[in-house]
Amino acid sequence: MRTAAAPDLFTAIPGSYGMKAIVDCNSFYCSCERLFRPDLRNKPVVVLSNNDGCIVSRSDEAKKFGVKMAGPYFEARPLIRQFGITAFSSNYNLYGDLSWRVMETLRMLVPSVEVYSVDEAFIDLSHVPYDQLEQTAMHIRKTVEQWTGISVSIGVAPTKTLAKLANYIAKKDKQASQCVTVTATREEQLRMLQSTRVENIWGVGWAYAEKLINQGIISAWDLSNMPEEWAHRHLGGVNGVRLIRELNGIPGKEMAAPLTSKKMIATTRMFGQPVTELNDVREAIATYTSRAAEKLRRQHSAAKTISIFLVTREENHMTSFKRGATLHSHITLPSATAVTQELIKAAVQQAEQLFRKGKVYKKAGVMLSNIVPDDSIQGNLFSPPSGNEYRYLMDVIDNVNFSMRDDVLKFAVTGTTRDWKMRQELRSKRHTTRWEELYEVK
């Protein structure tokens, strides 16, 4: 355990800059699957993307066998068969629910939590004394694992960027670090910066990393010594300056307040198979609009602008992995609404205008914007307002679908067979969100 030390010129202690930490779930999708499959503990597991296309999560055991992240599933199949690796389709119902449980656990343990992604959250540890940082981080890690069953790694530092680097160090050797790395002093931060390559810095993409390496900037330490004027000119302006400061222990990204309502809502999916018929496109767009409208009502909002897009398949078969052309359109409604049928009407109208016979479509999406609270919708003299009966109808549909699941009540235009639906041939049960799929103990 860490012991208290007298602060010196190289010491950054809470008070000058509050300490932050990032809690990152280890191989999150794989951990969710293993939670209900104890027989897969310490065995190789991978989880696939939409339509079982690419590998988006790998357990440590699968990484050791050479399974590549984001690699196509069909290319990895020989390795998967050779080493007996278990593969799962993405089960977003399960992952979303377990993510919520992890975040709620963190909120019970610390005063401030900023959810960064489905498997990561920044937490504020400025209230923790310097000599108790490691003990506190260990307590958080063990509590999350005990309460949710999901293992996590924690990096602690004065800034978010340094915390991400500390988390990277913790995950590199989980056994030695016990999944926790604390870099509270400047000495510890300097050692970390010197041992980390620039491509592993949060916010440095592959293009910037290549550019930096070509200029002889190899490590995070090299980058931290670059002038701010240079960063502003060569590293993305203000974002580059903020990155340099964060590497030097000066916070540039404070804890963000929880987002109570979204400014834009989108629902997009790859089709389970190539789509060529207008009816299939119409059904998909109507279905995605229904889901976006549910999200809109959940935050008590209404939208005035609805956009859709269709992605065509690349016609050249030699470039089958290249993204095809994207066709998009938008409509601004006379007044903001959260009524599903009104939004569907506008979305389907756009889909019919964009559709071209003979084209092959592989993806579609719907986006709602110009979002306002539903209790402050500005009226329009030239169009009648949505009747109150529609609000009651929407509430009934949402309540029934929430309790019964799987779109028990739906609009006819969304279809019944939905042959275009996303492929999930290897999906596990939705153990925590479906009564009929609850985990059974025999």
217: domain CATH number is: 1.10.150.20
My answer on whether 292 and 348 are in the same domain is yes
Rounded Cα–Cα distance for residues 253 and 162 (Å) = 11
Are the C-beta atoms of residues 22 and 164 closer than 8 Å to each other? yes
Q: Are 286 and 406 found together in one domain?
A: yes
Q: Are 36 and 155 contained in the same domain?
A: yes
With 80 as the cut, is the pLDDT of residue 405 above it? no
35, containing H or E segment: helix 28-35
Q: Residues 250, 304: one domain?
A: no
Mean pLDDT across the stretch 27-39?
95
Same domain, residue pair 247 and 140: no
Q: What is the pLDDT of residue 50?
A: 84
Q: Is the per-residue pLDDT at 118 higher than 60?
A: yes
User: Hey, what are 359's tokens?
Assistant: 């084209």
Which residues 6+ apart lie within 8 Å of 169 measured at CB?
155, 177, 181, 192, 195, 196
Q: Is 156 left (phi over 0), alpha (psi -120 to 50) or beta?
A: beta
Domain membership of residue 223 as a residue range = 196-257
Q: Can you tell me the distance from the alpha carbon of 169 to that of 60, in angstroms, rounded to the nearest whole number?
A: 15
Nearest alpha-carbon partner for 422 in 196, 235, 220, 271:
271
Domains in the chain, number = 3
The reply to whether 278 and 396 lie within a common domain is yes
pTM value > 0.85: no
Kindly report which listed range (73-82, 253-262, 344-353, 376-385) carries the lowest average pLDDT score: 376-385
Is the domain of 163 the same as that of 277?
A: no
Residues 32 and 101 sit within 8 Å (Cβ to Cβ): no
What are the tens digits of pLDDT across the range 268-321?
988 988 899 999 999 999 999 999 999 999 999 999 999 999 999 876 555 445
Q: Report pLDDT digits (tens) over 183-241.
A: 999 999 999 999 999 999 998 988 899 999 999 999 999 999 999 999 999 898 999 99
Percent of the chain with pLDDT strictly greater than 70: 90
Check whether residue 29 and residue 176 sit in a common domain. yes
Looking at the structure, tell me whether residues 279 and 238 fall in a common domain: no
